[in-house]
Amino acid sequence: MAKSNTAVPLTFKDYKSALKPIWCPGCGDFAVLNAITKALAFLQLPLENVALISGIGCSSRVAAYTSVYGFHGVHGRALALASGLKAAREDLTVLVAGGDGDGLSIGGNHFIHACRRNMDLTYIVMDNEVFGMTKGQASPTSEPDWAKGKLTPGGSGIRSFKPPVLALASGASFIARAFTGDPNGLARMLVAGIEHKGFSFIQALSPCPTFRPEHADWKHQVHAFENEEATDDPLVAVQRMMADDGLGTGIIYQRDLPAIQPGGQKPSAELAAFESEFEI
């Protein structure tokens, strides 16, 4: 990786890799890539001080399209990888990104525990309410009667959940929803999430024109929360989230909570001796 030249301000282009995204035309994930690079440029974070960890899915490709350190990991395990990295390298700004399938279906268990631990990570879920990469199966945010694939003719019949509510109940200290149709708004949210000390969760509504073309209507349906001020009161936050149609955008909740940072402790000699017993 090229080291940042700190004498010259970095632009968003410096945070992009030479790889050309292979997302379908109109995919919302392009806007997420742009918002990430704009947020990093705004903060002037040196390239070598940032890592972007992702899972598997169309959206998870985003790690390869940036020039910061990256790890395009295993399906549903981005938060586990990122938590380990942050534990070992507190100095890094660690961003985590992926889809609703990656983060909330196979990765759902890691999600709730990442919220609960409140490590200083910024997690962007590109929510298109579908498994895009595997050609259109229902995800945990798909409506129960939405049906396209052979797996769920007539719909999955399973109610979708609201990711911000899950994040709140699990202990996240920064919760926001953004829309890729407003990339500058998403970039501002990312800046706020990165600056927040603790686990920041951003649900980015990111349309998949290939498998959910009806989401083209999101641009008319998305609305800013009437009270745009973030609340630090979980009761107010949950009321706002439950009353909402899932398309309200803004920073919903932000609260100072202890951020866990397990790094900094050297393994004890006893532990090393114990581990050596298992060496093969």
Ligand X SMILES: Cc1ncc(C[n+]2csc(CCOP(=O)(O)OP(=O)(O)O)c2C)c(N)n1
**Any bridge partners for residue 131, and if so which?**
137
Beta strand extents in the chain (DSSP E only): 50-54, 69-72, 93-99, 121-127, 174-179, 200-205, 223-224, 248-254
**To the nearest whole angstrom, how small is the minimum distance from the Cβ of residue 203 to ligand X?**
12
Would strands 93-99 and 50-54 be described as parallel, antiparallel, or unpaired?
parallel
Q: Which region, judged by CB under 6 A, interacts with ligand SF4, from 4-12, 127-135, 192-200, 258-266?
A: 127-135
The reply to whether 65 sits near ligand X by the rule CB under 6 A is no
The reply to whether 132 sits near ligand X by the rule CB under 6 A is yes
CA distance 59 to 208: 10
Considering only 28, 73, 98, 181, the residue that binds ligand X (CB under 6 A) is: 98
Q: Which region, judged by CB under 6 A, interacts with ligand X, from 129-137, 149-157, 190-198, 244-252?
A: 129-137
Nearer to ligand X (CB atom), residue 100 or residue 120: 100
Which does residue 209 touch among ligand X, ligand SF4, none (CB within 5 to 8 A, set by kind)?
ligand SF4
CA distance 246 to 36: 23
Q: Which of 109, 110, 116, 97 is nearest to 52 (CA)?
A: 97
Nearer to ligand SF4 (CB atom), residue 20 or residue 266: 20
Considering only 115, 190, 208, 238, the residue that binds ligand SF4 (CB under 6 A) is: 208
Please report, as residue ranges, which positions from 8 to 37 form the binding site for ligand SF4 (by CB under 6 A). 23-24, 27, 29
Backbone angles phi, psi at 243, to 5 degrees: -80, -15
Please report, as residue ranges, which positions from 45 to 104 form the binding site for ligand SF4 (by CB under 6 A). 58
CA distance 48 to 141: 35
- Give the per-residue SS3 of 5-63: CCCCCCCHHHHECCCCCCCCCCCCHHHHHHHHHHHHHHHCCCHHHEEEEECCCCHHHHH
The reply to whether 141 sits near ligand SF4 by the rule CB under 6 A is no
**To the nearest whole angstrom, how small is the minimum distance from the Cβ of residue 254 to ligand X?**
26
Which does residue 27 touch among ligand SF4, ligand X, none (CB within 5 to 8 A, set by kind)?
ligand SF4
Instruction: At 244, list the tokens.
Output: 């909402």
Nearer to ligand X (CB atom), residue 136 or residue 193: 136
The reply to whether 99 sits near ligand X by the rule CB under 6 A is yes
Considering only 28, 57, 136, 250, the residue that binds ligand X (CB under 6 A) is: 57
Nearer to ligand X (CB atom), residue 56 or residue 175: 56
CA distance 153 to 147: 6
The reply to whether 58 sits near ligand X by the rule CB under 6 A is yes
Please report, as residue ranges, which positions from 181 to 240 form the binding site for ligand X (by CB under 6 A). none
**Any bridge partners for residue 273, and if so which?**
none
User: Using an 8 Å Cβ cutoff, are 241 and 252 in contact?
Assistant: yes
Report the interface residues with ligand X, using CB under 6 A.
56-59, 75, 98-102, 126, 128, 130-134, 139
Report the interface residues with ligand SF4, using CB under 6 A.
23-24, 27, 29, 58, 128, 132-133, 208-211
